[in-house]
Structure 1
């Protein structure tokens, strides 16, 4: 799985890049069956939504789009810490992958 990383209003440090690749790269084990069918790609954007901490608790936003053959799964999260937002996006995306795999299994068994 290829991971493309983009920072908006935020400089992506090497440590943050490694953190994103290790956290979101761990999802590769859940999508092995899709890699056989075609290319899988994940696009991740980490953005600073505001420079003022007084405007609310959400300062950073993490978004991830996982392109599978025939489907795009998406997750996003706002948080006060960029790493916490990445962790929550990973959890949401893992849940979306599990839902999609369950839907495919039911379809192949003839259930709705």
Structure 2
């Protein structure tokens, strides 16, 4: 699956890109039989400085025939945000497959 990854208010590092790619590659087994038209992803730093709490946001928009599967999660750590978005996307893909009978 070809992924377009956008980083907002973050330096683009190979570590984050590789980690994101690895997590998205894990979705291939759930996407078996589903044609992915586009996969747009964004990782953003939404807070900082003295702000506490969830300061990183990860978002995935997966365009499949007839639907847009969209998941967004916020966390205190960029890697946790990526993990949470991947975990929730698995559930969304399963729901889509059940609905379409794939």
Normalised by the shorter chain, which TM-score bucket? over 0.9
Q: TM-score, normalised by structure 1?
A: 0.84
| Structure possessing the higher radius of gyration over alpha carbons | 1
Q: How many residues align?
A: 102
1:79-107 C-alpha deviation (Å, 9 max, x unpaired): 110000000000110000001111112xx
**What SS is found at the alignment partner of 1:33?**
coil
- Tell whether 2:64 aligns with 1:47: no
Structure 2: gaps (5+ residues) = none
Q: Greater shift after overlay, 54-63 or 18-27?
A: 54-63
Say which structure is richer in helix. Answer: 1
**Counterpart position of 1:85:** 81
Query: What is the Cα deviation at residue 56 of structure 1?
Result: 2.7
Give per-residue Cα distances to partners, 1:47-73, cap 9 Å, x unaligned. Answer: 000122x42311100001011111110
1:103 counterpart residue number: 99
